[in-house]
Chains A and B, each alone.
Chain A
Amino acid sequence: MSIAIERSKLGIKETPFFPRLKELSTTAHWEHWGGYLSPSELESLELEYFAIRSNATVFDISPMCKYRIQGPDAEKFMNRLITRDVRKVKSGRVSYVVWCNDEGHLLDDGTIFRFGDDDFRLCCQERQWDWLISAKLGFDVQITEETDEIAAIQFQGPTTCWFLKQLGLEGVENLKTFDLKYFDWNGNQLLVSRTGFTGDLGYELWIENKKALDLWDALFALKDERHIRAIGSGALNLARIEAGFLAPHVDFLSADHVIRSTRGRTPFEIGLGWQVDFNKGQFNGRRALLKSQKDKTDRYCFVGFEIDGNKPADHSLIYYKKKQEIGHFTSAMWSPTLKMNIGMALLKLPYGDSVQEELWTEIYTEKELKYDVTMAKLKVTDRPFFRNKRRTATPPADF
Chain B
Amino acid sequence: MTKKYDSIVIGGGHNGLVCAAYLAKAGQKVIVLEANEKVGGMAITSELGGVKVPTVAHIARAVHPKVIKDLGLNIEIAKANIPMIALNTDGQHLKFKGDQVSGMNGAIVSAEDIKGYKSVHRNLQRFAKFLSPMMEAKAPKLKNRDREDTWNLIKLGVKLRLLGKQDMQEFLRIALLNIGDLLEDNIDNKQLIGAAAMDACWGTHLAPRSPGSVLTAMYRETGDMKGTRGAAHIVKGGMGNITDKLLKICTDLGVNVQTNAKVSKIVVEDDCVKGVELDGGEIITAENISSNADPRRTMLDMVGAEHLDINFTRRINNIRDKGDTAKVNLVLDRLPSFKGLSEEDLKARLLVCPDILYAEHAFNHCKYGEMAAKPALEITIPSVSDSSLVNDGKHVMSIVAQYAPYKLKAGWSEDTRNQLFENVIKVLEQYAPDIRECIDVSETLSPADIAKRFNNSGGHWHHVEMQVDQMLMNRPIHGAAQYNTPIEGLYLCGAGAHPGGNVTGVPGMNAAKRILSQKK
Given A282-B271, A287-B486, A138:B305 Cβ within 8 A:
yes
Tell me which of B271, B306, B314, B486 contacts A134 (CB under 8 A). Answer: B314
Q: Does A139 contact B (CB under 8 A)?
A: yes
Tell me which of B300, B306, B311, B317 contacts A282 (CB under 8 A). Answer: B306
The minimal Cβ–Cβ distance linking B300 to chain A, given in whole angstroms, is 6
Interface residues of B in 292-320 (CB under 8 A from A): 300, 304-314, 317
Chain B, interface size category, equals 10 to 19
**Residue total for A at the interface (Cβ-Cβ under 8 A):** 17
Tell me which of B310, B312, B479 contacts A131 (CB under 8 A). Answer: B310
Assess the B313–A137 pair: CB atoms within 8 A: yes
Q: Which residues of B contact A138 (CB under 8 A)?
A: 300, 304-306, 313
Interface residues of A in 49-79 (CB under 8 A from B): 76
The minimal Cβ–Cβ distance linking B315 to chain A, given in whole angstroms, is 9
Assess the B307–A282 pair: CB atoms within 8 A: yes
Given A134-B314, A138-B300, A284:B309 Cβ within 8 A:
yes
Q: Which residues of B contact A286 (CB under 8 A)?
A: 271, 309
Assess the B317–A137 pair: CB atoms within 8 A: yes
Bound-complex Cα distance A361 to B312 (A):
42
Assess the B313–A134 pair: CB atoms within 8 A: yes
Assess the A102–B306 pair: CB atoms within 8 A: no
Assess the B271–A101 pair: CB atoms within 8 A: no
Tell me which of A76, A139, A281, A285 contacts B309 (CB under 8 A). Answer: A285
The minimal Cβ–Cβ distance linking B317 to chain A, given in whole angstroms, is 6
Which residue of B is nearest A287, CB measured? Answer: B486
Given A137-B305, A138-B306, A102:B317 Cβ within 8 A:
no
Q: Which residues of A contact B305 (CB under 8 A)?
A: 80, 137-139
Q: Which residues of A contact B317 (CB under 8 A)?
A: 137
Q: What secondary structure prevails in chain B residues at the interface with A? A: helix
The minimal Cβ–Cβ distance linking B318 to chain A, given in whole angstroms, is 10
Q: Which residues of B contact A1 (CB under 8 A)?
A: none
Bound-complex Cα distance A131 to B313 (A):
12
The minimal Cβ–Cβ distance linking B109 to chain A, given in whole angstroms, is 53
Interface residues of A in 263-302 (CB under 8 A from B): 281-282, 284-287
Q: Which residues of A contact B310 (CB under 8 A)?
A: 80-81, 101-102, 131, 134-135, 284
The minimal Cβ–Cβ distance linking A284 to chain B, given in whole angstroms, is 5
Assess the A101–B311 pair: CB atoms within 8 A: yes
Interface centre among A81, A102, A287 (most CB of B within 10 A): A102
Assess the B311–A134 pair: CB atoms within 8 A: yes
The minimal Cβ–Cβ distance linking B286 to chain A, given in whole angstroms, is 21
Interface residues of B in 301-351 (CB under 8 A from A): 304-314, 317
Q: Which residues of A contact B314 (CB under 8 A)?
A: 134, 137
The minimal Cβ–Cβ distance linking A277 to chain B, given in whole angstroms, is 14
Which residue of A is nearest B311, CB measured? Answer: A102
Bound-complex Cα distance A284 to B313 (A):
11
Which residue of A is nearest B269, CB measured? Answer: A281
Q: Which residues of A contact B306 (CB under 8 A)?
A: 76, 80, 138-139, 282
The minimal Cβ–Cβ distance linking A188 to chain B, given in whole angstroms, is 37
The minimal Cβ–Cβ distance linking A147 to chain B, given in whole angstroms, is 21
Interface centre among A137, A138, A284 (most CB of B within 10 A): A138
Assess the B271–A102 pair: CB atoms within 8 A: no
Assess the A102–B304 pair: CB atoms within 8 A: no
Bound-complex Cα distance A134 to B315 (A):
10
Q: Which residues of A contact B312 (CB under 8 A)?
A: 102
The minimal Cβ–Cβ distance linking B486 to chain A, given in whole angstroms, is 6
Bound-complex Cα distance A281 to B307 (A):
8
User: Could you mark each residue 119-156 of chain A with 1 if its beta carbon is under 8 Å from any beta carbon of chain B, else 0?
Assistant: 00000000000010011011100000000000000000
User: Could you mark each residue 238-268 of chain A with 1 if its beta carbon is under 8 Å from any beta carbon of chain B, else 0?
Assistant: 0000000000000000000000000000000
Bound-complex Cα distance A131 to B307 (A):
17
Assess the A287–B300 pair: CB atoms within 8 A: no
Which residue of A is nearest B300, CB measured? Answer: A138
User: Could you mark each residue 476-491 of chain B with 1 if its beta carbon is under 8 Å from any beta carbon of chain A, else 0?
Assistant: 0001000000100000
Q: Which residues of A contact B307 (CB under 8 A)?
A: 282
Bound-complex Cα distance A181 to B300 (A):
38
The minimal Cβ–Cβ distance linking A22 to chain B, given in whole angstroms, is 40
Bound-complex Cα distance A138 to B304 (A):
7
The minimal Cβ–Cβ distance linking B63 to chain A, given in whole angstroms, is 36
Which residue of B is nearest A107, CB measured? Answer: B310
Q: Which residues of B contact A284 (CB under 8 A)?
A: 309-310
Which residue of B is nearest A279, CB measured? Answer: B270
Bound-complex Cα distance A139 to B308 (A):
12
Q: Which residues of B contact A101 (CB under 8 A)?
A: 310-311
Interface residues of A in 69-114 (CB under 8 A from B): 76, 80-81, 101-102
Q: Which residues of B contact A134 (CB under 8 A)?
A: 310-311, 313-314
Interface residues of B in 259-293 (CB under 8 A from A): 270-271
Bound-complex Cα distance A76 to B305 (A):
11
Q: Which residues of B contact A282 (CB under 8 A)?
A: 271, 306-308
Assess the A287–B309 pair: CB atoms within 8 A: yes
Bound-complex Cα distance A282 to B306 (A):
7
The minimal Cβ–Cβ distance linking B484 to chain A, given in whole angstroms, is 12
Q: Which residues of B contact A81 (CB under 8 A)?
A: 310
22 residue pairs A–B, Cβ–Cβ below 8 Å: A80-B305, A80-B306, A80-B310, A102-B309, A102-B311, A131-B310, A134-B310, A134-B311, A134-B313, A137-B305, A137-B314, A138-B300, A138-B304, A138-B305, A138-B306, A139-B305, A139-B306, A282-B307, A284-B309, A284-B310, A286-B271, A287-B309
Ranked 10 nearest A-B pairs via Cβ: A138-B305, A102-B309, A102-B311, A134-B314, A135-B310, A284-B310, A282-B307, A134-B310, A137-B313, A284-B309
Extra A-B contacts (15), CB below 8 Å, given A282-B306, A286-B309: A76-B306, A80-B310, A102-B309, A102-B311, A134-B314, A135-B310, A137-B314, A138-B300, A138-B313, A139-B305, A282-B308, A284-B309, A284-B310, A287-B309, A287-B486
